[in-house]
Amino acid sequence: MVSSILPLTLKDAVVRKGGVQIVGPVEFALEGGGCSVLIGPNGAGKTTLLRLMHGLEKARSGSVSWNGTQKDVRLRQSFVFQTPVVMRRTVRENIAYPLLVRGRHKKEALVEADRWIDEVGLSASGHKEAHILSGGERQKLALARAMITDPDVLFLDEPTTNLDGASTQEIEALILRAKADGVRIIMATHDFGQSRRLGDEILFLYRGQIHERGQVEDFFDHPTTEEARTFIDGDILV
Amino acid sequence: MNDLLAGLISAFHLIVTLDHDLVEISLRSLQVTVTAVVIAAAIGLPFGAWLSVTRFRFRRIAIAVLNALMGLPPVVVGLVVYILLSRSGPFGVFNLLFTPTAMIIAQVIIVTPIIASLSHQAIRELWYLYHDLLISLNTSKWQRMKALLWDGRRSLLTATLTGFGRAIGEIGAIMIVGGNIDHLTRVLTTAIALEVGKGDFPLAIGLGIVLITLAIAINLAIHILSRTEREGRW
């Protein structure tokens, strides 16, 4: 499926905070299909770039444009945060919430939420207060809440940080399933293994700029920039 | 010490015999306070939420003023409401002075800033947690306020009960605008002041114990009904 709100095009986009340039200028386009992975050292601007693409940050200069009206574009993308935001509600109410704000009837939204609860393996916790969930379960909740609106594009900000191996495996399986269903994935991660397992292409970010972009195997096997090579080799990149 | 003991005995006697005057005064106290708190909550809670999710030019000043209004002197409020409702005042035609309605108006003015300010503080913290999610979900300002008010309901209950505590123990303003008229505007606090003035300390202490018991009972009842502090609940 080719997402109709794509391509996403960034032209000389710059994000500044407190007088410091966090991202940019960046210029690239993302077409439909697959999984693009933003990779780079701490402070490279991965999260800010994801937030810029999603519309949570504003470009100080340059532009971020989608194929569609502003409202349509916002409604057809979802974001999973590094630290899942858990609302003070039950698990099923958390997952149903995006449908409620889109005007769906509560009963209908909860039925749909129950389907996603089963899908992500939280069946035993559906009626429990969400705050009692473990880290991995919270991330599953966040994924189900992101997927319930049937998005064209899914942004994931280091979705398995601080999770154990089993939880990471379960989350990755859900991401792969979304990808197989045609959802365009754009994710940030530190994890090289995860980039290989989930990604189709890599965007290597360093000091707020895209230093290299390529297919996963090409990037890891034949990096073309010195910074990327240093990063892949595990050396300290200052 | 003797007065305290006599007060306890007096309170016990008043309650056990369901003293007619005590019941009337207590019910009026509750009627005035609950009405005032409901109105103040209807204004203060949404206002606190709105203040949390809205950015405008003089927001910080507005918050500072709101916090300062928490300490509004009841006597001054009473005086202003008295002037406004007196025959020569702008609202004199409504004949509200020395009625329970005047007492409710004064209490709403005193309690609304308390509820609004405390709810703003509670919701501001929740907004900090929810901000990115609610923006990401493309929610309207009304939907954000609704989500924050609902999910913060237990903190907001505490804010409302704080307002209730302030209102039920209030005397300065309601004495001025109510006048402490027997069978019309006399409430527990004004009755206590009257009995102290008459030198009937046992009865005053008895009424005081009833007032405290009533305030605690209302708080407990609301907490039990809203099922706060239950395991696994916010």
Overall domain count for chain A: 1
Contact residues, chain A, for B129 at CB < 8 Å:
85
Q: What is the pLDDT at residue B1?
A: 66
- Given a cut of 80, whether residue B229 has pLDDT beyond it is no
What range does the domain containing A228 cover?
8-81+153-159+184-232
Find the chain A residues whose C-beta atoms sit closer than 8 A to any C-beta of B: 54, 56, 71, 74-75, 78-79, 81, 85, 87-89, 97-98, 101, 128-129, 131-132
Whether A129 maps to a domain, the answer reads no
Q: What pLDDT band is residue A2 in, cutting at 50, 70 and 90? A: very low
Tell me, yes or no, whether A148 lies in a domain.
no
CA angle A24, A26, A28 (to 5 degrees): 165
Arithmetic mean of pLDDT, B60-87: 95
Closest CA to A140 of A182, A102, A92: A92
**B interface mutation test: which of A87, A102, A127 has the most B CBs within 10 A?**
A87
Could you report the per-residue pLDDT of A151-173, keeping only the tens digit for each? 999 999 999 887 888 888 888 99
Q: What's the whole-number average pLDDT of chain B?
A: 91
For residue A89, the chain B residue with the least C-alpha distance is B151
Mean pLDDT of A56-62: 92
Contacting residues of A for B136, CB less than 8 Å apart: 54, 56, 78-79
Residue A54 belongs to a domain: yes
What pLDDT score was predicted for residue A69? 85
Residue of A nearest to B140 (CA): A101
Closest Cα in chain A, distance from residue B216 (Å): 27
CA B159 to chain centre: 10
CATH numbers and ranges of domains, chain B = 2-225 (1.10.3720.10)
Q: Which is more confidently placed, A228 or B174? A: B174
pLDDT(A82) > 60: yes
Residue A88 lies in a domain: no
Whole-number pLDDT of residue B230 = 56
Long-range contacts of B184-190, Cβ-Cβ distance < 8 Å, separation of 24 or more:
B184/B98, B184/B99, B184/B100, B185/B28, B185/B98, B185/B99, B185/B100, B185/B102, B185/B103, B186/B25, B186/B28, B187/B25, B187/B28, B187/B29, B187/B32, B187/B103, B188/B25, B188/B26, B188/B29, B188/B214, B189/B29
pLDDT-wise least confident of A123-127, A221-225, B226-230: B226-230
Contact (Cβ atoms closer than 8 angstroms) between residue B135 and residue A74? no
Chain B residues in contact with A73 (beta carbon < 8 A)? none
Contact B137 A71 (CB under 8 A): no
The pLDDT of A185-197, averaged and rounded, is 92
**Segments of A61-152 assigned E as strands:** 61-65, 77-80
pLDDT of amino acid A231:
86
User: Domain for residue A97, yes or no?
Assistant: no
Asked if A101 lies within 8 A of B126 by C-beta distance, the reply is no
How far is A202 from A219, CA to CA, in rounded Å? 7
ipTM of the complex: 0.90
Q: What is the CATH number of the domain that holds A35?
A: 3.40.50.300
Could you tell me the pTM of the whole model?
A: 0.87
A139 contacts: CB under 8 Å, gap ≥ 6: A80, A84, A159, A160, A163, A167, A171
Measure CA A101 to chain center.
21
* Alpha carbon of residue B14 to chain centroid: 25
CA distance A59 to B50: 27
Query: Which of these ranges, A165-179, B3-17, B25-39, B177-191, has the smallest mean pLDDT?
Result: B3-17
Query: Which region among A9-13, A163-167, B229-233 has the lowest average model confidence (pLDDT)?
Result: B229-233
Segment A67-91 mean pLDDT: 91
pLDDT of residue B225: 75
Reply yes or no on whether the pLDDT at A1 is more than 60. Answer: no
The answer to whether residue A227 scores a pLDDT higher than 90 is: no
Residue type, A150: D
Give the mean model confidence (pLDDT) for residues A59-84.
90
Q: Would residue A131 count as lying in a domain?
A: no
Does residue A146 sit within a domain? no
- Does A225 score more than 80 pLDDT? yes
Is residue A194 a contact partner of residue A156, using CB atoms and an 8 Å limit? no
Instruction: Give residue-wise pLDDT tens across range A14-50.
Output: 999 888 899 979 999 998 889 999 999 888 899 999 9
Mean local confidence (pLDDT), B204-213: 88
**Average of per-residue pLDDT across B46-73:** 94
Is residue A172 domain-resident?
A: no
Give yes or no for a contact between A205 and A38, defined as CB atoms under 8 angstroms apart: yes
Cross-chain Cβ contact B133/A81 below 8 Å? yes
Output the pLDDT for position A74. 87
What are A111-147's pLDDT values in tens digits? Answer: 999 999 998 989 889 899 999 999 889 999 999 999 9
Q: Which of B104, B99, B140, B116 is nearest to B41 (CA)?
A: B116
- The Cα–Cα gap between A195 and B226 comes to 47
